[in-house]
Structure 1
């Protein structure tokens, strides 16, 4: 009986949450989009901590996981934080650490390039989402 109760508690304690993304089409090449995103992030006075080359990793590991599906022609995720904004949202709720670092992605699928970011919950994290939207809109406009 105890394992059944434990299983029920685990299932109820960790509901699956769907995460959505906001994307904007980019009129240009993948390389131009990544340059614009990098420039827009740095232009906000922020430091890029890491660029995850997700598209390369998926291509490189496809055969290792038994797949021959090409998901992206190219895809990168730029990870960064804002000391000011991170402090603000974590002072409001320390568990907002789950949303750090912030990320903006650039993806190319069959010549269609998009720039985007994941959405954040209502409340203090909406200020972060507004910053990401500002950065992405600047990147796609240039």
Structure 2
């Protein structure tokens, strides 16, 4: 019964807002960008919880599946981290924001360009996270 009520409430709420990805050009190598991202995150007083080596995984699985090299470059990676104060703020506003934590900033090689990017959360309650991610990415892109 509760499941049916929850589903009905979701339908009544209307369509979900879509998150977006924003990128910033980086003048240098992906390896250089990765170092600057790490420094920018730590410069905000944050600890990196995990680094996901996406490009290496794409190369490895691409070779196994005969798909070729990574479409995001072999140095592509995402840095995952959290901010206790900002996470508390957004989860106080909406406890379901737990689903967005940890947050990530990534570097990738798209074509001949190196880009730094992050997700932009559509929910208004995630504005403090969007501000944090923008500060970090803009510091890297400078």
Do both proteins adopt the same fold according to a TM-score greater than 0.5, normalized to the shorter chain?
A: yes
CA distance in 1, matches of 2:130, 2:19: 13
CA distance in 2, matches of 1:66, 1:48: 33
The CA RMSD over aligned residues, in Å, is 2.2
Instruction: Give the length in aligned residue pairs.
Output: 131
Task: Say which is worse superposed, 93-102 or 121-130, in terms of deviation.
Answer: 121-130
Mind listing any 5+ residue stretches in structure 2 that lack a counterpart? 1-6
- After TM superposition, the structure 1 = structure 2 runs for residues 1-142 of structure 1, keeping only pairs within 5 Å, are 18-68=18-68, 70-73=70-73, 74-141=75-142
Q: Deviations over 1:17-64 (max 9, x none)?
A: 754201000011111101111000000000000000001001101133
Mind listing any 5+ residue stretches in structure 1 that lack a counterpart? 1-8
Q: Structure 1 17/66 Cα, relative in aligned 2: closer, same or farther at 3 Å?
A: farther
Structure 1 runs of 4+ aligned residues shifted over 6 Å read none
Q: If the length of structure 1 is used for normalisation, what is the TM-score?
A: 0.83
Q: If the length of structure 2 is used for normalisation, what is the TM-score?
A: 0.83
SS in 1 for 2:76: strand
Offset at residue 121 of structure 1 (A): 1.9
SS in 2 for 1:107: strand
Task: Say which is worse superposed, 60-69 or 50-59, in terms of deviation.
Answer: 60-69
